[in-house]
Chains A and B, each alone.
Chain A
Amino acid sequence: MNMTKRLRKTEGFKIVGTRPQRPDGIEKVTGRALYGADLSVPDMLHGAVLRSPHPHARIVSIDASAALEMPGVRAVVTSADFKKQAKFFMQDTLDNCMARDFALYDGHAVAAVAAKTRKQAEEAAAKIRVEYEILPHVTEVEDAMKPDAPILHAGRSYRNIPEGNNANVTNYVEFGHGDVEAGFKDADLIVERSFKTAATHQGYIEPNACVASMGPDGRGELWVTTQGHYMVRDFCAPFLGLEESKLRVTPSEIGGGFGGKTTVFLEPVALALAQKSGKPVKMVMSREEVFRASGPTVSSWTDVKIGMTRDGKITAAQAKLRYQGGAFPCGTIALGAMTAFAAYDLENVQALGWNVMTNRPMQASYRAPGAPMAIYTVESVVDELSQKLGLDPLEVRLKNAAKKGTKSSYGPTFSDIGLVATLEAAKNHPHYRAPLGPNQGRGISCGFWFNFGGNSSVSLHVSPDGTVAVTEGNPDIGGSRASISMMAAEELGIPYDKVRTIVGDTNSIGYSDTTDGSRVTFTVGIATIKAARDAIRVMKGRAAKVWGIDEDAVIWEDGAAKPSGPNAGEFPPMTMEEIARNAFKTGGPIAGHYEANSDGAGVSFGVHLVDVEVDPETGFTKILRYTVFQDAGKAIHPAYVEGQMQGGAVQGIGWALNEEYIYGADGRLQNPGFLDYRIPVASDLPMIDTVILEIPNPGHPYGVRGVGETSIVPPLAAISNAVSRAADVRLCELPMSPPRVLAAIDAKG
């Protein structure tokens, strides 16, 4: 037995790398899988939320007496029904769920009702009388920074905010190294541009939903669609004044999240209504509520300046990023400023960032939060420099690419990263050399995301027949039960179909961080592999006992214990089935568990290539061909890795071409529905080709690197660069809707 191979395996896999059916597949194709809104329980009430029609107002009074007289009504709650929180972030999250003193955006929850039917609850909510004192509002980042802008809340700025900013500016960050001013002097060409990106919504198809029940003894049950049920518990318990372990949260199947379900909206409200009414309460958001009061991402306004030599070397790079993250302080700007230049090996680099509050919903994470809009601006300017200098844009990126030993723009020195290999793969792909027709253009962009590790728990039980039940604590958002079953089977040396993986509730498995940061296959994978090793240790011990030999003389291979070494003796292999069958006679039930606290997730790079055709008459952009190149470390289930790459690319296509939050002068959201907030549909798109690179991540036993988020980063610039080349005019604002592209074409004359 080779011990190094045992600790880290990069080849010779039997199951990892194959494409088996996912274990939850049958339920999902037959309609049996239960999502957030699919559960009903006996004697259940329905909740409805009254939302502010004003973007900014002081709540003078709330009178629910008429609502409480309505038929079927059992309870009304307002912010007064929740516990005050000591920490700003907790109080902000609670205030976003239910307005306290001030309504801060159109759609902000002000009160909620529980009644026998949903209709009764909605009718009663409409009868709640709220007296508002309307205040001036601001929804756009550039307006919110002006000296005379309406202020959302004073006193929330961090102390390092430079002089001259108003109280809406809450966060200020600086990253970089070297001397950009000196670097610009060495440049042969400097391009400086200003960009804007619209706020977009995660756009999950399943609206937020939950069913809550509460007893007078402080025990609660919550069924909820979420990316993290421990996160939901850790918000809701203090909001309601409960002890954490008394609130059991069970995750439903989740109909998409993309970061949007990494916080709470309805959950504490449903629990408060359940507490007050003494009945279970179901709450489901309408699509309009999803748009007005959940998500979205930040919108941005960024200036970028990059200098380059005639032969394509970047001499200095600077970005000034300004994000609005809605009505509360928001740290996403730091991620934008850190990621903006991450793909480059730069001597002189500086990224400055400001977060600004506006009268919009509190932003929620959206797939690689902060990165797409930052990298869009940098990759646009790099492309324009390449174009103006007559250089191949891919060669320019190769020339300046971050690699092992590069001091990254956010500080640390990169170890093994796959950007150069990914760029080389794009360069050598037929797509890069395919001919283009009239009005067509090709765009390229790099993308980057950190990837996370963190905490996750796995418990693995060997059943008496030798099959295996795995319980883990991370909601399965895109097929992770398959990859976890595969890693368990691989490690145990048994067939994939002998393993069943389920997602446990908060009280049936140990704490697990939210399903975010592309961390599940990485961290739950580590926990699964180590839980399997724990079970193998137990099983080897049982075999040793039966054989009467030393435990160290037993190895595990192909799903069986085998004697090994000079003094082990001759015994036929003892299979897992046999060990399991005799478990109760040899020492009791067999299980393994592991609680991971993992680091070393390994950063991720991707490169996207896109061909577009722009109609010069209408400004409409058609995506003709799209190829995604990404380093997956080791692809456990390649089909689901491809799916992440394709899905992220298409979300990015929507962001680039169609999607935007549109606020009117009245501060109200004008397009809270899928008709006017248009996400990509099947007929908008070609096939999305994928090239998976496998450069093993040294931080994972099988080399896994997170893959979920990086793919949404490059499309914004890749498409903007393609459109700019096709239309022969540089586009600097997203989305590139037909009127905007047409205006740019007309403006160039």
Chain B
Amino acid sequence: MSKIHVTTTVNGDTVEYLCEPTETLLDVLRDRLNLTGAKEGCSTGDCGACSVELDGRLVSSCLVLAAEAGGKTVATVEGMAKGENLHILQEKILEHAALQCGVCTPGILVAAKALLAKNPDPTEEEVRFWLAGNLCRCTGYDKIIRAVLDAAAEMRGA
């Protein structure tokens, strides 16, 4: 089987890659583009550790074929900070100590960013349901939810 040539945009940069038809977007991000921020926790779309945005839509990159990303824009955790300035969500996660091992953190950040783009003023319940697809085994979610609500308030200028 011959490889597929794909041209896409990742974190604002045009990138090209050759991939197998069976390769996932997560495989390509991690193994071909050296972007290991997205993690493989399950490869079945249950844990959210591989969350990225595809054309602004939150997806589990383990469930997207790499070939599907052609002509689209991909946003990963590596694109959240601008230069030396962290995204407000990144700052708030740190400030609230909302991570322990940190392996779910990239997925949580990408998912939370997608939420706030859609809904800048979510309730606690809305944050909990939006992040229900992102498993965290360390924190019990309390500090994560608080960090996202705090970031939302700050981003609204409240």
Chain A residues with CB under 8 Å of chain B are: 19, 21-22, 24-26, 28-35, 37-38, 40, 202-207, 253-258, 284, 286-287, 477-479, 637, 639-640, 642-644, 646-651, 673-675, 679-685, 687-688
List the 7 shortest-distance A-B pairs measured between CB atoms, nearest first.
Answer: A31-B37, A255-B103, A650-B140, A28-B102, A646-B140, A639-B97, A674-B46
CB pair A685–B105 under 8 Å, yes or no, is no
- Nearest chain A CB to B147's CB is how many angstroms away? 10
- Nearest chain B CB to A533's CB is how many angstroms away? 28
Residues on B with C-beta less than 8 A from A684 are: 132
A391 and B13 CA atoms in complex are apart in Å by: 68
Who on chain A is nearest to B36 by CB?
A38
* Total A-B residue contacts, Cβ distance less than 8 Å: 181
**Contact indicator per residue, chain B 63-101, by CB within 8 Å of chain A (1) or not (0):** 000000000000011101100001000100111110111
A30 and B30 CA atoms in complex are apart in Å by: 15
Given A28-B105, A255-B102, A287-B41: A650 in contact with B141 (beta carbons within 8 A): yes
4 further A-B contacts with Cβ under 8 Å, apart from A31-B36, A206-B103, are A26-B86, A31-B35, A255-B101, A682-B145
Give residues 116-140 of B contacting A (CB, 8 Å): 124-125, 127-129, 131-140
CB pair A30–B78 under 8 Å, yes or no, is yes
A20 and B37 CA atoms in complex are apart in Å by: 24
CB pair B100–A479 under 8 Å, yes or no, is yes
B40 interfacial by beta-carbon distance below 8 Å = yes
A682 and B143 CA atoms in complex are apart in Å by: 11
CB pair A31–B106 under 8 Å, yes or no, is yes
CB pair A640–B36 under 8 Å, yes or no, is no
Residues on A with C-beta less than 8 A from B90 are: 29-30
Can you identify 5 A-B contacts, CB atoms within 8 angstroms? A255-B39, A639-B97, A650-B141, A682-B141, A685-B140
Who on chain B is nearest to A476 by CB?
B101
Residues on A with C-beta less than 8 A from B105 are: 28-29
Given A203-B137, A687-B142: A33 in contact with B97 (beta carbons within 8 A): no
CB pair A477–B145 under 8 Å, yes or no, is no
Residues on A with C-beta less than 8 A from B58 are: none
A257 and B138 CA atoms in complex are apart in Å by: 9
Residues on B with C-beta less than 8 A from A477 are: 100-101
Residues on A with C-beta less than 8 A from B93 are: 29
**Contact indicator per residue, chain B 14-49, by CB within 8 Å of chain A (1) or not (0):** 000000000000000011000111111111101101
Given A29-B93, A287-B41, A683-B128: A674 in contact with B100 (beta carbons within 8 A): no
CB pair A33–B86 under 8 Å, yes or no, is no
CB pair B103–A256 under 8 Å, yes or no, is yes
Given A674-B44, A682-B128: A34 in contact with B137 (beta carbons within 8 A): no
Interface size on B, residues (CB 8 A): 57
Residue in A32, A639, A647, A673 whose beta carbon sits within 8 Å of that of B138 in the complex: A647
Who on chain A is nearest to B98 by CB?
A643
B104 interfacial by beta-carbon distance below 8 Å = yes
Given A22-B94, A650-B140: A206 in contact with B101 (beta carbons within 8 A): yes
Given A30-B37, A31-B35, A287-B41: A19 in contact with B142 (beta carbons within 8 A): no
A649 and B35 CA atoms in complex are apart in Å by: 34
A651 and B140 CA atoms in complex are apart in Å by: 8
CB pair B100–A647 under 8 Å, yes or no, is yes
B152 interfacial by beta-carbon distance below 8 Å = no
Given A31-B76, A682-B128: A687 in contact with B145 (beta carbons within 8 A): yes
CB pair B137–A258 under 8 Å, yes or no, is yes
Residue in B36, B37, B43, B101 whose beta carbon sits within 8 Å of that of A286 in the complex: B43
Residues on B with C-beta less than 8 A from A643 are: 97, 100, 138-140, 143
B54 interfacial by beta-carbon distance below 8 Å = no
B144 interfacial by beta-carbon distance below 8 Å = yes
Q: Which of B49, B81, B104, B139 has the most CB of A within 10 A?
A: B139
B109 interfacial by beta-carbon distance below 8 Å = yes
CB pair A34–B36 under 8 Å, yes or no, is yes
- Nearest chain B CB to A653's CB is how many angstroms away? 8
CB pair A22–B101 under 8 Å, yes or no, is no
Residue in B44, B96, B101, B125 whose beta carbon sits within 8 Å of that of A287 in the complex: B44
CB pair B94–A21 under 8 Å, yes or no, is yes
- Nearest chain B CB to A477's CB is how many angstroms away? 6
CB pair A19–B97 under 8 Å, yes or no, is yes
A33 and B78 CA atoms in complex are apart in Å by: 11
A286 and B43 CA atoms in complex are apart in Å by: 8
CB pair B140–A647 under 8 Å, yes or no, is yes
